[in-house]
Amino acid sequence: MPGSIPRALEATMKLKDVDLGAELKDKKEYKRRLGKAQLQLLLVQRFMYQHRREALILFEGWDAAGKGGSIRRLIEHLDPRGYVVHPIAAPTADEKDVHYLQRFWKRMPGPGRLCIFDRTWYGRVLVERVEGFATKPEWKRAYDEINAFEELLTSSGTPVLKFFLHISPEEQLKRFLERERNLFKNWKITPEDYRNRDKWKEYEKATNDMIDKTSTKHAPWTIVAANKKWSARVQVCETAVKQLSKELGCGVKLPKGWRELSD
């Protein structure tokens, strides 16, 4: 049990400071860097299994920012027996009657497993704040509760990686319209997506506050410039390799001829 509530980092980036124009040179660079990172993640997963270590990767971001696509690339070459992806929806009636973190405790990974959350407990200070599902005292108190919760995990040896995928309002609208025209993706668009979009400023303020108050030394946020899908996926995978290998103390050097192994 930590002795005190962890403090947020002194300086954190605001969404307006993110360069959304960042992109890779071409598809060749995308495939090379992504393929390398994916194989390195496989080495990390093997280390976790052998040493009975667990880890968490959290995803938040705007609607249509590419969370699902980034997660798919993250796990593409992993052994499915060693990870689980939790897509988080609104709490059930029973979950609303208990502490908001309780439903996440039940989803914590066992030894040797990687646990990925598509949406997280940060809903308390994002959607629940903006939509009025949590009172002001409740969501303001949640920052300290979440920091303490994450430090419980990291202090016991469980790395917690946090990604926020950021896109512009213009890019979001473009993706909404593309989804509506796509027979295989139009199920993803609902009236709620447009209602949330109408509250962009409120969600932007809530997100900046979240990053400012919960980007701690033990569990910092990574803001991903996601206007360009290729560069976003590469950043997520490369950052996951860097942070997990550091926190777990495992090597990620690939064997000679790894490019042939990735084909």
> Per residue in 217-258, pLDDT tens?
999 999 999 999 999 999 999 999 999 999 999 999 988 766
Record: fold of 15-262: Rossmann fold (3.40.50)
Count CB-CB contacts under 10 A for residue 209. Answer: 16
pLDDT at 10: 45
Q: What is the pTM of this model?
A: 0.93
**What's the whole-number mean pLDDT along residues 136-154?**
98
pLDDT surpassing 50 at residue 2:
no
State the pLDDT confidence band at 12, using cuts at 50, 70 and 90: low
pLDDT at 179: 93
Domain ranges of the chain: 15-262
Averaged confidence pLDDT in the chain: 93
Beta-carbon contacts of residue 250 (< 8 Å; ≥ 6 apart): 43, 44, 47, 48, 51, 244
Query: Taking Cα atoms as reference points, which of 41, 33, 35, 34 lies closest to residue 82?
Result: 41
pLDDT at 125: 99
